[in-house]
Amino acid sequence: MIPIAPIFIKSKETLERLSLLLDEERLAYGELDSETIINLSEEKQTLLDEMNQLNEKRVNILIKFDVVDRKEPSEEDFKKWLSLQDSSMDEVRLLMKDCEALLKKCKTQNNTNARILNTLQKRNKHLYELLQGHSSKNKVYTARGSTRPISSKHTLGRA
């Protein structure tokens, strides 16, 4: 029997922690807590690194046991092999299904957080331009074809 169940168990735990972390990140965006956001980003990177290591370990085990091709290991080959196994691999099938569902959930959460962050960045940029006295309507083209704002003499900072 191939010892991959412990890897899937660890992957599931890591994905569950990542999902909780992504929820915390969304709340931190709502509270505009930059220190928490930075800390959560570091934790998120640590979890993603851990997931990469687990995946690498899983692929190496599958290669070692000749389940997937050494030169081009593919997830489809593994799934095909797994579907041909007897009921002794039911735990691995279930864990893999759980991991795939959690990964999909994490991707959705991460995309939601990215949209929130993008909205916050646009709002902050707009507020910054207002403080400088710039307006998105008051822009001119430079010699290179890009645009730059026209500075106003009535900026909030000078008022």
User: Model confidence over 87-105: pLDDT tens digits?
Assistant: 989 999 999 999 999 999 9
Nearest CA to 148 out of 135, 139, 136 is that of 139
138 has pLDDT over 80: no
**What is the b/e burial string over 29-56, where b = at least 16 CB atoms within 10 angstroms of the residue's CB?**
beeeeeeebeebeeebeebeebbeebee
Cα–Cα distances (Å) from 29 to 17, 49, 119, 129, in that order, read 18, 23, 10, 21
> Band of the pLDDT at 135, cuts 50, 70, 90?
low
Q: Compute the distance between CA of residue 78 and CA of residue 4 in angstroms, rounded to an integer.
A: 12
Three-class SS state of 149: strand
* 150 CA to centre of own chain: 37
State pLDDT tens for residues 46-102. Answer: 999 999 999 999 999 999 999 999 999 999 999 999 999 999 899 999 999 999 999
- Name the one residue in this structure whose structure tokens are 């992957």: 11
State pLDDT tens for residues 11-25. Answer: 999 999 999 999 999
| pLDDT the model gives residue 96 | 95
Helices (H), the chain: 5-31, 34-64, 75-83, 90-132
Nearest CA to 135 out of 155, 116, 120, 118 is that of 155
Domains of the chain, CATH where assigned: 5-149 (1.20.58.300)
